[in-house]
Amino acid sequence: MAREMPESMELPLSWADSGQSVLKLNIRHLWLCGVWPLPGSWIFEVYGALGLVLGVWNAIESTLALYFCWGDMDESTMVFISTFSIGCGTVKMAFFMCNRRQYYALARSVEMLVSLQSEFCSADPALADIRQGSQRRTSRLTIGLLLLMLSQYPVWFPMPLIARPDERRLPFAQHGWDNNTNFYELSYVVQCVIGAWTTQISNSVDLLFVSIMILTAAQLQILTIRIASLKREDIEVKLEKGISCVADQTDNSCSDKMYGKLCQCIESHQKILRFVKHLEKTMSSIVMTQFSFSVLVTCVSLFQATYSTELGSVLKCICFLPVPAGQIYLYCWSAHNITEQAEAVTLAAYSCSWLKASHRFKRALRILMSRAQKPLVLTAAHLYPMNREAFVSLVNASYSYYALLGQMTK
């Protein structure tokens, strides 16, 4: 779908454009993290490249730390947790920066999607409430989860200074080659900056896609109400005819009106389906990355919280456990809502007044129902479905790996 779009759709957004977007919070937070230029300059590019360099530096530092602490299960698992979490943000940042044009097009497509049924929302307060409610939900979810992530930093960053004040400990990977003696203060600050930067990028990218899926599900919900409301319009016409034949309200004109409104619904449905395919193609690689890293982080965090003898490590892992599990759940929950709303289109079509409608109305309605019966399932890398069952299976996978680590430890 991205190739069918005009080139103007893939141009960078300006600061003013982002301010008018329903994804304003997500876009500007990504800009703050150095990922989404508004528009961009060489200084911004250097700023973004610095984030990638720090991510690579963390991978090298963690590899060396694992080499020197190998055999110490408590120390090794803590390094794995930080490495997987920071590595996930770094990989997402690389994917995002390599495919910026797709994200520009996606942001503009979201604006077109939200305005797709604005005419009907303006005429019906119930539809307007659904649209506005979805926008409020995305804003609250974005702010709430970013604040939740910020609440992790006071637990992880100063914990070495609180739990072991007499030792020169670093927040994540320890420098076993020099016993944290060289450049200790600089290393401490760099690890804190890397951890905060990459985790904010990781969560912001997730929230961008989750917000888009929430808005898409709302558009499908609006569409189902529009289709079902054809019944009410037909009843009103019948009541008018029962009293008198007002104006030029004949059977043919009534049928033409219903058929025209059904065609509008079908057109909206087709546009939403095309947008969902575009969304899946854009976010597929990032979702698969998140699923993979979240399973690993959840497994190792649970293991560390269970078997560690250090209170500080246990506290950090317990506080951090909801984050990777929550990231998986948000994707599965929002994608599952799209699937459910897409399935509801068939029921809405069956609920409208089709019994005494014209033949072409019934024919068009059958086509709509046939297409709506095909499950609209978003996938990760076109391999793994995103739904509530997938969330349960991923959690089970994390627990299986955790049980395996426990057996190995014993």
Backbone angle region of 180, left / alpha / beta, with phi > 0 → left and psi within -120 to 50 → alpha:
left
Overall average pLDDT of the 84-105 stretch: 93
Nearest to 55 by CA among 199, 209, 203, 207: 199
In this structure, of 329-333, 353-357, 395-399, the range with the lowest mean pLDDT score is: 353-357
What digits encode the pLDDT tens for the residues 351-395?
888 887 888 999 999 999 999 999 999 998 888 889 999 999 999
Contact status, residue 196 vs residue 153, Cβ threshold 8 Å: yes
What single-letter DSSP state applies at residue 2? G
Contact status, residue 351 vs residue 231, Cβ threshold 8 Å: yes
Where does the pLDDT of residue 247 fall: very low under 50, low under 70, confident under 90, or very high at 90 and above? very low
SS3 per residue for 149-204: HHCCHHHHCCHHHHHCCCCCCCCCCCCCCCCCCCCHHHHHHHHHHHHHHHHHHHHH
Highest mean pLDDT (candidates 137-141, 147-151, 299-303, 354-358): 137-141
For the chain, the maximum distance between any two Cα atoms, rounded to a whole number of angstroms, is 95
Structure tokens at 15: 């600061």
- pLDDT surpasses 80 at 3: no
Where does the pLDDT of residue 405 fall: very low under 50, low under 70, confident under 90, or very high at 90 and above? confident
Collapsed DSSP state (helix, strand, coil) of residue 384: strand
Highest mean pLDDT (candidates 33-42, 59-68, 72-81): 59-68
pLDDT of res. 44: 92
pLDDT of res. 26: 95
- pLDDT surpasses 50 at 192: yes
pLDDT of res. 143: 93
Q: Is the peptide bond before 324 cis (omega within 30 degrees of 0)?
A: no
**In whole numbers, what is the pLDDT of the chain averaged over residues?**
88
CA distance 14 to 110: 16
Q: In the chain, what are the domain boundaries? A: 2-409
Overall average pLDDT of the 5-32 stretch: 89
CA distance 52 to 59: 11
- pLDDT surpasses 70 at 297: yes
Structure tokens at 251: 């059977």
Pick the more confident residue, 39 or 265: 265
pLDDT of res. 248: 46
- pLDDT surpasses 50 at 121: yes
Where does the pLDDT of residue 2 fall: very low under 50, low under 70, confident under 90, or very high at 90 and above? very low
CA distance 386 to 378: 6
pLDDT of res. 244: 44
pLDDT of res. 252: 64
Contact status, residue 217 vs residue 387, Cβ threshold 8 Å: no
Contact status, residue 77 vs residue 317, Cβ threshold 8 Å: no
What digits encode the pLDDT tens for the residues 283-293?
999 999 999 99
What single-letter DSSP state applies at residue 124? -
pLDDT of res. 353: 84
Collapsed DSSP state (helix, strand, coil) of residue 109: helix
CA distance 211 to 205: 10
Contact status, residue 158 vs residue 196, Cβ threshold 8 Å: no
Collapsed DSSP state (helix, strand, coil) of residue 380: strand
Highest mean pLDDT (candidates 27-31, 259-263, 321-325): 27-31
- pLDDT surpasses 80 at 48: yes
CA distance 160 to 139: 34
Overall average pLDDT of the 198-222 stretch: 95
Q: Supply the DSSP string of 298-363, one letter for each residue.
A: HHHHHHHHHH---HHHHHHHHHHTHHHHHHHHHHHHHHHHHHHHHHHHHHHHHHSS-TTS-HHHHH
- pLDDT surpasses 60 at 176: yes
